[in-house]
Amino acid sequence: MKLGVCAQVFYPLGRGPAAFAQAVAQAAELGFEAIELPCDARSPFIDLDDALAGGWTRIAELVRGAGLTISALSNHQEGQLLLGGSDTDAIFAGTAEAKTRYAHDRLVRTAELARRLEVDVVCGFTGCEDYARWFPWPIEDGYERMVPRFREVMRPLLDELAARGVRFAHECHPRQFAYNLETAQLALAAVDDHPALAFNFDPANLLLAGMDPVVFVAELGARIAHAHGKDGELVAHHAGRSGLLAHGAPHRRDRGFRFRVPGWGDLSWRRLISELQLAGFAGVIAVEHEDPTMSPREGLVQAVRHLAPLILREPAPGTRWW
Amino acid sequence: MKLGVCAQVFYPLGRGPAAFAQAVAQAAELGFEAIELPCDARSPFIDLDDALAGGWTRIAELVRGAGLTISALSNHQEGQLLLGGSDTDAIFAGTAEAKTRYAHDRLVRTAELARRLEVDVVCGFTGCEDYARWFPWPIEDGYERMVPRFREVMRPLLDELAARGVRFAHECHPRQFAYNLETAQLALAAVDDHPALAFNFDPANLLLAGMDPVVFVAELGARIAHAHGKDGELVAHHAGRSGLLAHGAPHRRDRGFRFRVPGWGDLSWRRLISELQLAGFAGVIAVEHEDPTMSPREGLVQAVRHLAPLILREPAPGTRWW
Amino acid sequence: MKLGVCAQVFYPLGRGPAAFAQAVAQAAELGFEAIELPCDARSPFIDLDDALAGGWTRIAELVRGAGLTISALSNHQEGQLLLGGSDTDAIFAGTAEAKTRYAHDRLVRTAELARRLEVDVVCGFTGCEDYARWFPWPIEDGYERMVPRFREVMRPLLDELAARGVRFAHECHPRQFAYNLETAQLALAAVDDHPALAFNFDPANLLLAGMDPVVFVAELGARIAHAHGKDGELVAHHAGRSGLLAHGAPHRRDRGFRFRVPGWGDLSWRRLISELQLAGFAGVIAVEHEDPTMSPREGLVQAVRHLAPLILREPAPGTRWW
Amino acid sequence: MKLGVCAQVFYPLGRGPAAFAQAVAQAAELGFEAIELPCDARSPFIDLDDALAGGWTRIAELVRGAGLTISALSNHQEGQLLLGGSDTDAIFAGTAEAKTRYAHDRLVRTAELARRLEVDVVCGFTGCEDYARWFPWPIEDGYERMVPRFREVMRPLLDELAARGVRFAHECHPRQFAYNLETAQLALAAVDDHPALAFNFDPANLLLAGMDPVVFVAELGARIAHAHGKDGELVAHHAGRSGLLAHGAPHRRDRGFRFRVPGWGDLSWRRLISELQLAGFAGVIAVEHEDPTMSPREGLVQAVRHLAPLILREPAPGTRWW
Amino acid sequence: MKLGVCAQVFYPLGRGPAAFAQAVAQAAELGFEAIELPCDARSPFIDLDDALAGGWTRIAELVRGAGLTISALSNHQEGQLLLGGSDTDAIFAGTAEAKTRYAHDRLVRTAELARRLEVDVVCGFTGCEDYARWFPWPIEDGYERMVPRFREVMRPLLDELAARGVRFAHECHPRQFAYNLETAQLALAAVDDHPALAFNFDPANLLLAGMDPVVFVAELGARIAHAHGKDGELVAHHAGRSGLLAHGAPHRRDRGFRFRVPGWGDLSWRRLISELQLAGFAGVIAVEHEDPTMSPREGLVQAVRHLAPLILREPAPGTRWW
Amino acid sequence: MKLGVCAQVFYPLGRGPAAFAQAVAQAAELGFEAIELPCDARSPFIDLDDALAGGWTRIAELVRGAGLTISALSNHQEGQLLLGGSDTDAIFAGTAEAKTRYAHDRLVRTAELARRLEVDVVCGFTGCEDYARWFPWPIEDGYERMVPRFREVMRPLLDELAARGVRFAHECHPRQFAYNLETAQLALAAVDDHPALAFNFDPANLLLAGMDPVVFVAELGARIAHAHGKDGELVAHHAGRSGLLAHGAPHRRDRGFRFRVPGWGDLSWRRLISELQLAGFAGVIAVEHEDPTMSPREGLVQAVRHLAPLILREPAPGTRWW
């Protein structure tokens, strides 16, 4: 395993190559070994058109020059458009069909950029026709009804990615078709276990679904292509009031649940890393800092302080030597 | 407090007055003192048109004759249409506007029937423009954006109910605008604390939101007009896999969460009843049996066995006598 | 074991023999087998002077006539005066010395009445020179400093009781010298394990000291002469705020700790009764109802409902038969 | 489901038909509907030779006359001899081979008696070559090494039972080859899922193995032919000292673990019965009283008081009616 | 936030300027950035008379010279005399009135010294007329009765401090009028929310009151002027015996509760620091080492090792950047 | 206290002096201060015959040269033969008597080597006549029956060790006569508290017995001569299935319990070290790495990272300085 970072935390540095260079330099200086790079239209660091037109060499050099690797490209914003769901107009305005087409195109191009950068994972979202259907009322089979559309949209996309040697690492998350272990398994079944469908394991999102993220690794470990170093906290003194399903802005002080940097939430990273290790995972855990209590820089410092000493770099032995 | 029952559990008895009479008789025989009667179009026992046209006297006599009272009329099905949300076509097909109009009309008539029956509570749902917005992404202020519509739809309805001496007891539940304590408080604020907005306290639904139902009573006890005797179980040996937000049919054996009859779930009814008692609640706790492990009859027997001995009939003394 | 009741819960019935007769009749009707009778000056049922002057025969007949036994006489009010402590003027005004003398005299007379009634236990308090010394600051040996006075006051009293065949069952409780297991052991040591010093085991008081009442039975079971059926609740949704050491009136709604009737608090009566059984305790558990959520009558109904089915009447077998 | 009782608790009544009649009468009077009858040589009620020689009709009449059924015959004592293990000389002295032969013969005859009594389950033990091998040291594959012997001894026995229409319900328990879920699955595999190998589900024994008995039902529910109503208590105030693996006499007061009657231990019978219900179990839960804190009679009274109200007699509905 | 230390841990170094210089040097060397200086008569480092007579410049230079700041002056010893309570003769012998006068005078002079040193906080105690009154018996309104005296003594003192630009940071603690959140709020109300009344937040003391220290921050965060880095341990293997309210010497080995250095007790410093951060606290957390298991030096090393990496130096961002 | 390491983790380095030198060098480089050296016939580093014939000087020099000390010699393999138990033929084939003789001889010679090396502890096992007897069935007094043999075998051995100034530090562990606190106390009683019987405190083994290792220290701290830094994990997501008593290979992925390096299991090393400190333990905690998830080297790195900062080197002060 290696320790990486998601580039969003550096967005306050500004737009363009200079800001990007600064981001990469700070990542290296803070002790990260890899970086996950968002490629959606909102990204201040990567312009997909420009990159595919040749800019990719500069990206590669810049990252390599800082001693980092790119653990994954990501495109959550536009992935959200694939299967729709509400509130996506700020990402791309248009009909549902147009949104899907746009998202498909952007993700294929993200994958193409990944291929050129010799990165084999694109992390992202898929959206969800109707996420409210996780509760089986007024209709009982709401989730099953969404399977055909998931298959219809995702199979061609996965084929395109496979053709480029890239896997799509879906991140289970609220408002996605797959938001917990069982819906992840449903998604795999929907595309006949397509080899290009993998997962970006974000344990905080799974905590928010009320399940045990370690069980996700135990059952789907072989499909985990990338991981996020993000923690979650059921805020003990507020949870009785606002609950796990706290609505409203993430930095609202009295939420019953908030995302945290690793070590400051409820997750046992030792348990998580142990199970990843037993599952043979040797990839990158990229810190995603969405912790409302810490500045961007201080949150990263804390995350590295907690995670770096726990990263295991040698595989489990598999036999006893004693 | 008194112990009541929700009439849905008797639907297998069939349609019409004879089935209804049988339902009421069984309720009395099982030890219930009150009944909550659904008045939506799907109800096999109450035809709203017929009842308002005079049938209500027969209903009143039948219930009274069995030694019961009507704790509330209810209309969850059609209430779901008020603010929309998906998957409601089986209830009433039409535009969003038509659905709202239909629901408004049906609820007003339900209230009118309540008035004639000398019942002062109508329990129900309100639906939700977009329940998926409980998670603040892709937009952060999704819940706040729905406040104006809630106000616009609910205020006139509440006025109509108030004019009939009836309170609308909203049941916090997934896919409703108010699904936990904080959204219940948001709903109250949205209608300027309209005196006709109350709550049908269903602790199992609140458990499913990841909060502590006792805290709901501690903060909003004065607005609780009716309660449901329904329990919920975070199924310990499955919860690690499917989580609190388990999708799929309620009787699926391996769900991480299931509704239970009181006493068979995780709720402490002594804690709940203690806080209801301190809040001065002297109304009805109506058993709602949606427990997939027990037959309709056996579930009610179990519920009565657990709850009846805990029902407190005298108010808290308020001073010390010792 | 048998199930009894503390007479204080019947004080609202009024003063004098008629009220007392009513109290005893209600106790019997509710299913109790024994009664603990307070004999302090505040008692509306027992006038110590009158009783010793011959009234005791009437008391004995009245209780026997209702099919009850007297499990213990009690005198907590005046016992509080023995070692002083503040706020006792309402019980008896005077110098510390006068209070001790008065208390000694009253307790000896209570014991004399017990002897005549063929009751071998007097439950009560001892007070405490300075209960605030449970915390070892500003001085570290505060508790040890109080040992001589405890010995000086208690030894003669215990001798008097022993001469009458009566044990003094001290009830560990805040503001008493012995308030938990360790101070109970200190008290025993202070009087050289005087055979007349026993304990009235009130598990709720021990819960309030933050210890496990079952351990008290495991270590001091042989010294338990009487028990109280009283429960305590660390009020989950308030405890974070007001803590175990909640000040203020017992019926204040938002206390972090409150006394409850058995079954409505945190105690496992099965664990307690199991350990009492293994300790060979075959005495009376007298329900002391100080539950601010229930009327006097309803609290007793609840207590009997919970405890009566758990009372074990046959000793543990001591060997295996299977 | 029905509620039964294991006959050992009546052994203190003495030997022979009169004692047996008394046992059956008491079982019925206490509210049991079925009885599990031990048939080993130590049984005071059943003489296997006599019963097979015709005495079985008297047994059948006696049990039927009391309104009971026989839920199972059992033979734990002699079953222990099948695969040996130490300390069995008091059951039958001889070589390991002779013990196995004797046990085989006795179990086949127990099954033959079951056939005549129209009972289709024989509960029992199998013993274990070397139970100490649960810990993988000094050799790692100790358990696997015992599989061939298990297969060799059990297959012919299971064939004999199958020929008589009887299943062998092995009770997972310390010192048996199968003592938890995984070894139960190993046992099934060892005999190629022989249809005559079932389990007598005793949740207290599984608790003592440190696992969750409900998971046993979830995975092997279809193989559960009979169940024991026995509870277990990790004795909170002693467990830190003596641990789960407490040695020494079962009635030793300070053990860290002890068997209890249902309701007085750590098991949630509601969770257990819910899962049995979902597994379609409709058999008998026979109370096995080995609780060192209660007399034989009082233990049964407590067990019935706790379990009888929880016994579900109608199958889970499987669909939603509401 | 910054990390500081309470100077008491250096008392073994001896009296006078040289010892003081050594203390300050060691504090700096161990990694502390600030120091809390006691100014009571027992302090070996600060002589109040001498300091006010000009010695303060030397103090200021010495501390500054070591690269430290003074986070607060403190005066717990003499503060204890303000409202009395027992066992204070070793601090100052005299009548209650004389003690109060002396304490008032000493605290005003402590504040005056603070002013000269440009320190705006004086930490301390207030004592308590009768701390035993936390339990509402024999009188119910014991706490309320002490409000007037608290007001009478504290208002003039707070005015004096305010006149010097200094806040009095009361430390909730046993034997003080304010010992938990609710009594802290009572204290504030008693002085009409006097702006000079603040709190020295010592989470271990609040743990000892059985409450959640994080809730104190959530409700009174804006009044926290200073904090103590002190932890508390409910000693799991002794707590069943001696309870939370363990009496006797702090270094007694078998206490049920003991103070610990941060990281070695039950507190989650991440939860505490998160809430302090959200409350906008940017002051000093001064380690107070009263841990009976570690030498003065080793305890400080452990405290720094645990706390230093958790100190957040940048404010919470308040918006989302991702 | 100091931090040491058990040499088995270096066995993959190969046999002989060069490998041993490498092992010692790596131990020093990783930050250990001491090493526990196995002396059984399987040890690749120590040949007992050769060492006693003079090789011990080379061993002493080598260890000293690396800046380490020898915390203990150990001989678990051959100790297992002392009292027998099954599955020991791979250690030494022969009759039970021959095994005991061989083991006695080997342990005496191990002690002799210890004497020459100025090491006063030999860690090891004793084996157990019949470990399956921890469960009291088929016979109740199985453990008591093994006391005479334990005494007969151990007394002469302990005398031999005592004559060499060496204590035998038995390691409680499955398949040993003493496997938890109570059997350790039984062992001490069996040899009349022989001064040469001590314990090698391995908290992970005690966890596996279902007890609290801290209680072992609280009661037998004075007999702890050496400690192991080994942790244990009740694997939360598998424990429901395979339980605490999981059989099969230690590196099987789905075991319910596994040994871990310190910090990665369930033990609180702060609680353990606090109690060791209060017990006056000033010896070595030697990391024993049997963690199936980490390579030999990486496991040691993790262990040092967790334990080294917690090692207390100064005794508890015993008084208060503040």
Structure confidence by residue, pLDDT tens digits, C232-277: 999 999 999 999 999 999 999 999 999 999 999 999 999 999 999 9
Q: Inter-chain contact B317–C264, Cβ cutoff 8 Å?
A: no
Alpha-carbon span F103 to F122, nearest angstrom: 13
Residue A37 bridge partners (DSSP): A73
CB-closest option in A132, A211, A239 to B86: A132
Residues whose CB is less than 8 angstroms from the CB of residue D252 and which lie 6 or more positions away in sequence, other chains included: D246
Residues of chain F with pLDDT under 50: none
CA atoms within 13 A on the CB side of C168: 32
Alpha-carbon span D179 to D133, nearest angstrom: 12
pLDDT above 90 for D147: yes
Rounded to 10 degrees, what is the CA torsion of A263, A267, A269, A271? 150
- The reported pLDDT for the residue numbered B319 is 84
- Chain E residues whose CB is inside 8 A of the A241 CB are none
Q: How many CB atoms lie within 10 A of CB B110?
A: 31
Q: Inter-chain contact A320–F251, Cβ cutoff 8 Å?
A: yes
Q: How many CB atoms lie within 10 A of CB B44?
A: 18
Q: Cis peptide before C309, with omega less than 30 degrees from 0?
A: no
Q: Give SS3 for A33.
A: coil
Q: Inter-chain contact C312–D294, Cβ cutoff 8 Å?
A: yes
* ipTM surpassing 0.85: yes
- A262–chain E nearest CA distance, Å: 11
Q: How many CB atoms lie within 10 A of CB E109?
A: 18
- The reported pLDDT for the residue numbered C321 is 80
Alpha-carbon span E151 to B161, nearest angstrom: 51
Alpha-carbon span D266 to D245, nearest angstrom: 16
Q: Inter-chain contact A243–B136, Cβ cutoff 8 Å?
A: no
A314: buried, middle or exposed (CB in 10 Å: 19+, 13-18, 0-12)?
Answer: middle
Q: CB pairs below 8 Å between A and E: how many?
A: 58
Q: Inter-chain contact F212–E253, Cβ cutoff 8 Å?
A: no
CB-closest option in C12, C237, C293 to B321: C12
Query: Which amino acid appears at position F117 of this protein?
Result: L
pLDDT above 90 for B321: no
Residue of A293, A300, A302, A307 to mutate, interface with E, max E Cβ within 10 Å = A293
Alpha-carbon span F295 to E291, nearest angstrom: 37
| Cβ atoms of A226 and A76 closer than 8 Å | no
Rounded to 10 degrees, what is the CA torsion of F108, F111, F112, F113? 130
User: Among the residues of chain A, which ranges form H helices?
Assistant: 16-30, 48-50, 56-65, 76-79, 96-116, 142-145, 147-163, 181-190, 203-208, 213-220, 236-242, 269-278, 296-307
Residues of chain A with pLDDT under 50: none
CB-closest option in C271, C314, C322 to D298: C314
Alpha-carbon span C30 to C20, nearest angstrom: 15
Alpha-carbon span D92 to D107, nearest angstrom: 14
- The reported pLDDT for the residue numbered A320 is 82
Q: Phi first, then psi: give them for residue D228, nearest 5 degrees.
A: -105, 135
* DSSP annotation of A53: I
Alpha-carbon span E230 to E288, nearest angstrom: 5
Helix axes E213-220 and E269-278, enclosed angle (nearest 10): 0
Structure confidence by residue, pLDDT tens digits, C86-116: 999 999 999 999 999 999 999 999 999 999 9
Rounded to 10 degrees, what is the CA torsion of E99, E104, E107, E111? -170
Alpha-carbon span E287 to E300, nearest angstrom: 8
- F140–chain D nearest CA distance, Å: 5
CB-closest option in F215, F309, F319 to E237: F215
Q: Inter-chain contact E139–C90, Cβ cutoff 8 Å?
A: yes
- Chain B residues whose CB is inside 8 A of the D316 CB are 251, 292-295
Q: CB pairs below 8 Å between C and E: how many?
A: 167
- Chain E residues whose CB is inside 8 A of the F214 CB are 236-237
Alpha-carbon span F270 to E236, nearest angstrom: 13
Structure confidence by residue, pLDDT tens digits, E101-137: 999 999 999 999 999 999 999 999 999 999 999 999 9
Structure confidence by residue, pLDDT tens digits, D17-71: 999 999 999 999 999 999 999 999 999 999 999 999 999 999 999 999 999 999 9
Residue A70 bridge partners (DSSP): A35
CB-closest option in E215, E278, E321 to A11: E321
CB-closest option in F131, F136, F249 to D140: F249
- ∠ at Cα C121 (C119, C126), nearest 5°? 145
Q: Inter-chain contact B315–C298, Cβ cutoff 8 Å?
A: no
Query: Which amino acid appears at position B87 of this protein?
Result: D
Q: And the tokens for E30? A: 């161990």
Q: Which residues of B touch C (CB under 8 A)?
A: 212, 214-215, 218, 270-271, 274-275, 277-278, 309-310, 312-322
CA atoms within 13 A on the CB side of B197: 24
- F238–chain D nearest CA distance, Å: 9
- Chain E residues whose CB is inside 8 A of the C214 CB are 240
- The reported pLDDT for the residue numbered E322 is 80
Residues whose CB is less than 8 angstroms from the CB of residue A110 and which lie 6 or more positions away in sequence, other chains included: A39, A48, A73, A75, A78, A122, A124
- Chain D residues whose CB is inside 8 A of the C311 CB are none
Q: Give SS3 for D16.
A: helix
Residue of C9, C252, C253 to mutate, interface with B, max B Cβ within 10 Å = C253
Residues whose CB is less than 8 angstroms from the CB of residue E50 and which lie 6 or more positions away in sequence, other chains included: none
Q: Kindly identify which residue of chain B lies nearest to residue A140, measuring between CA atoms.
A: B249
Q: Inter-chain contact B247–A215, Cβ cutoff 8 Å?
A: no
pLDDT above 90 for C320: no
- The reported pLDDT for the residue numbered C318 is 83
Q: CB pairs below 8 Å between B and C: how many?
A: 58
Q: Inter-chain contact B312–C293, Cβ cutoff 8 Å?
A: yes
Q: How much is the pTM?
A: 0.97
- The reported pLDDT for the residue numbered F322 is 79
Q: What percent of chain E has pLDDT over 70?
A: 100
CB-closest option in C130, C212, C248 to E86: C130
Q: And the tokens for D215? A: 């998971």
pLDDT band at B147 (very low <50, low <70, confident <90, very high): very high
pLDDT band at B261 (very low <50, low <70, confident <90, very high): very high
- ∠ at Cα D242 (D241, D246), nearest 5°? 175
Mean pLDDT, chain E, integer: 97
Q: Inter-chain contact C321–D9, Cβ cutoff 8 Å?
A: yes
Q: And the tokens for C174? A: 């805040």
Q: Cis peptide before F138, with omega less than 30 degrees from 0?
A: yes
pLDDT above 90 for D320: no
- The reported pLDDT for the residue numbered E321 is 80
Residue of B215, B268, B269, B274 to mutate, interface with C, max C Cβ within 10 Å = B274
Alpha-carbon span C306 to A283, nearest angstrom: 57
Alpha-carbon span F138 to D104, nearest angstrom: 18
Q: What is the DSSP string of D124-166?
A: E----S-GGGGS--S-S-HHHHTHHHHHHHHHHHHHHHHHTT-
- Chain B residues whose CB is inside 8 A of the C12 CB are 321
pLDDT above 90 for E238: yes
- HEC string for chain E: CEEEEEHHHHHHHCCHHHHHHHHHHHHHHHCCCEEEEECCCCCCCCCHHHHHHHHHHHHHHHHHHCCCEEEEEEEHHHHCCCCCCCCCCCCCCCCHHHHHHHHHHHHHHHHHHHHHCCCCEEEECCCCCCHHHHCCCCCCCHHHHCHHHHHHHHHHHHHHHHHCCCEEEECCCCCCCCCCHHHHHHHHHHCCCCCCEEEEECHHHHHHCCCCHHHHHHHHHHHEEEEEECEEEECHHHHHHHCCCCCCCCCCCCCCEEEECCCCCCCCHHHHHHHHHHCCCCCEEEECCCCCCCCHHHHHHHHHHHHHHHCCCCCCCCCCCC
Q: CB pairs below 8 Å between C and D: how many?
A: 57
Q: Inter-chain contact E180–C209, Cβ cutoff 8 Å?
A: no
* DSSP annotation of A132: G
Alpha-carbon span A238 to E219, nearest angstrom: 12
- The reported pLDDT for the residue numbered A221 is 98
Q: Kindly identify which residue of chain D lies nearest to residue C276, measuring between CA atoms.
A: D293
- Could you tell me the CA-to-CA distances from B119 to A48, B168, F271 in Å, in that order? 64, 11, 61
Q: Inter-chain contact D295–C317, Cβ cutoff 8 Å?
A: yes
Residue B2 bridge partners (DSSP): B284
pLDDT above 90 for E8: yes
- The reported pLDDT for the residue numbered C319 is 84
- Chain F residues whose CB is inside 8 A of the D138 CB are 77, 80, 87-88, 90-91, 175
- E2–chain A nearest CA distance, Å: 14
- The reported pLDDT for the residue numbered F55 is 98
| Cβ atoms of B88 and B53 closer than 8 Å | no
- Chain F residues whose CB is inside 8 A of the A219 CB are none
Q: Which residues of E touch F (CB under 8 A)?
A: 8-9, 11-12, 233, 236-237, 249-251, 253-254, 263-264, 289-290, 292-298, 302, 305
- D1–chain B nearest CA distance, Å: 13
Q: Which letter, b or e, does each residue of C60-76 get, where b requires 16 or more Cβ atoms within 10 Å of its Cβ?
A: bebbeebebbbbbbbbb
- The reported pLDDT for the residue numbered E157 is 98
Q: Inter-chain contact B142–A87, Cβ cutoff 8 Å?
A: yes
Residue of B171, B231, B253, B289 to mutate, interface with D, max D Cβ within 10 Å = B253
Torsional class of C201: left (φ above 0), alpha (ψ -120 to 50), beta (otherwise): beta
Q: Kindly identify which residue of chain F lies nearest to residue D249, measuring between CA atoms.
A: F140
Residue of B137, B173, B219 to mutate, interface with A, max A Cβ within 10 Å = B137
Alpha-carbon span E118 to A158, nearest angstrom: 67
Best CA proximity match to E3, nearest among E97, E74, E71:
E71
- Could you tell me the CA-to-CA distances from D314 to B299, D277, D311 in Å, in that order? 10, 9, 9
pLDDT above 90 for D93: yes
- E251–chain F nearest CA distance, Å: 6
CA atoms within 13 A on the CB side of A44: 19
- D322–chain B nearest CA distance, Å: 5
Q: Give SS3 for D263.
A: coil
Alpha-carbon span D187 to A80, nearest angstrom: 50
- D20–chain F nearest CA distance, Å: 24
- The reported pLDDT for the residue numbered D318 is 82
- The reported pLDDT for the residue numbered F111 is 98
Alpha-carbon span C70 to C33, nearest angstrom: 9
- The reported pLDDT for the residue numbered C246 is 96
